[in-house]
Amino acid sequence: MTQMAERLDPPKRANASRAVDAAPRTSAPVKWWAAVGAAYLVFMVAVLTNWVLGPLFKTVPVGPTPVPTFMKVAVVFFEVISIPAILACFYFMVVKPLRRDGKLSVDGALTIAFATVWFQDPLSAYSGTWFTYNAYALNYGSWENSIPFATGKAAPGAMIVEPILIVPGAYVYCFVVAMFAGSWVMRTARKRWPELSAVKLGAICVVAMFGFDIVLEGVMFMPLGIWEYPGGHFNIFPNTYHKFPLTEMITAGSAFASVAILRFFKNDRGETLADRGVESLKVSDRRKSVLRALAMVGFVNMLFFVLYNVLNTWTATRMADWPADLQQRSYLTNGLCGEGTDQMCPGPAVPQFRNNNQDPNGGSAHLDPNGNLVVPPNTTLPTMVPFDRGK
């Protein structure tokens, strides 16, 4: 009977396989995520074009504070290595496998997606600037306030900085390292404890990526003065310019873990949740590669938006006091607040500022660094409306 059952099983599996093959032709998730990815790229190009052609495309100066030599060296170092690093990632993850196999691999599609996530970098400051970059880096401001309805403080030459030679590359090589590191952690844990469920493996990966982010940002990038999180909460190294908020560990670590988990858990066709169904489509390998890349762009950016930017919007609207050690360094305040501006640096006692992107002389009333009320020239404060007393 056992032998008969074994002989009957293959046809059943074949029938099941044909059923699986048929479904994706009409409802393959890869098509939906590819549409999301395409829409994201269109939005990205539109915003960046608006920024480059608009008044905010202007260098933010370092200000009067001398930049320490070690920070200058660090900034230039990361500017120099970022382009070769991203090219190396693309060669080994995209080009080489594509030449070998004739189609884009999952790792290649992920690498392409990582090269688009940097556009989201300033989004968590959409409603308030809670982090800053070192203005010594080559910069032309940022596209934060070129996004419709953004309310974070911004003016030409005085806004959050985006180091254009550092950030795009850093998103690629940091995510690639995190992807492989997280996969290694889960693979090692599975060998050690074969009975672990997917949920438990994912949880182990998340915890590991928390540690990864502490080292990456809290120990390396931030003490070197590349970027800082002055508005963050629950800090390691409090009262220093490089205080590291544990909220950043949670959000960035979760984003790193999510791409490792996405890569690690594939079906028997080698498909992730993002590109599920692509191998069953009756199209050329080239078209499958395009769909896989677009789907990964959509899915990975969705993960980063939800796990990082949405969660950190809470921080942007409830900022902690910016440390004095950072406020005294003009190259880290980006002309946003403090000495030389009409804006008190953020904190729990400081009203949230709302920018008027259509009128540089507008925006909300706010406090200057000495605590005096500032009403922008084109801003009209509302008058008190008395109660209706029935007369």
- Provide the residue-wise pLDDT of the chain in tens; the chain has 391 residues: 444 443 344 444 444 444 444 444 456 898 999 999 999 999 999 999 999 999 999 999 999 999 999 999 999 999 999 999 999 999 999 999 999 999 999 999 999 999 999 999 999 988 888 999 999 999 999 999 999 888 888 889 999 999 999 999 999 999 999 999 999 999 999 999 999 999 999 999 999 999 999 999 999 999 999 999 999 999 999 999 999 999 999 999 999 999 999 999 988 898 899 988 888 888 888 898 999 999 999 999 999 999 999 999 888 888 899 999 999 999 999 999 999 999 999 999 888 888 877 777 888 888 889 999 989 888 889 999 999 988 6
Q: How far apart are CA 74 and CA 222, in angstroms?
A: 11
pLDDT score recorded for residue 241: 95
Are the C-beta atoms of residues 74 and 225 closer than 8 Å to each other?
yes
Q: Side-chain half-sphere of 170: how many Cα atoms within 13 Å?
A: 20
Q: How far apart are CA 257 and CA 179, in angstroms?
A: 7
- Of 326, 315, 362, 359, residue with least CA distance to 126: 315
Q: Side-chain half-sphere of 208: how many Cα atoms within 13 Å?
A: 23
Using DSSP's 3-state secondary structure scheme, residue 177 falls into: helix
Are the C-beta atoms of residues 296 and 112 closer than 8 Å to each other?
yes
Q: How far apart are CA 86 and CA 90, in angstroms?
A: 6
Give the DSSP H/E element, type plus range, for residue 132: strand 132-133
Using DSSP's 3-state secondary structure scheme, residue 121 falls into: helix
pLDDT score recorded for residue 131: 94
**Taking the CB of residue 185, how many other CB atoms lie within 10 A of it?**
22
Q: Both tokens of residue 254?
A: 């979760």
pLDDT score recorded for residue 27: 62
Q: What are φ and ψ of residue 236, in 5° steps?
A: -90, 145
**Taking the CB of residue 69, how many other CB atoms lie within 10 A of it?**
8
pLDDT score recorded for residue 318: 86
| Rounded CA Rg of the chain | 25
**Taking the CB of residue 60, how many other CB atoms lie within 10 A of it?**
27
CA dihedral 38→43→46→49, nearest 10 degrees, is -100
Using DSSP's 3-state secondary structure scheme, residue 282 falls into: coil
* Angular region, 338: left φ>0, alpha ψ -120 to 50, beta rest: left
pLDDT score recorded for residue 352: 83
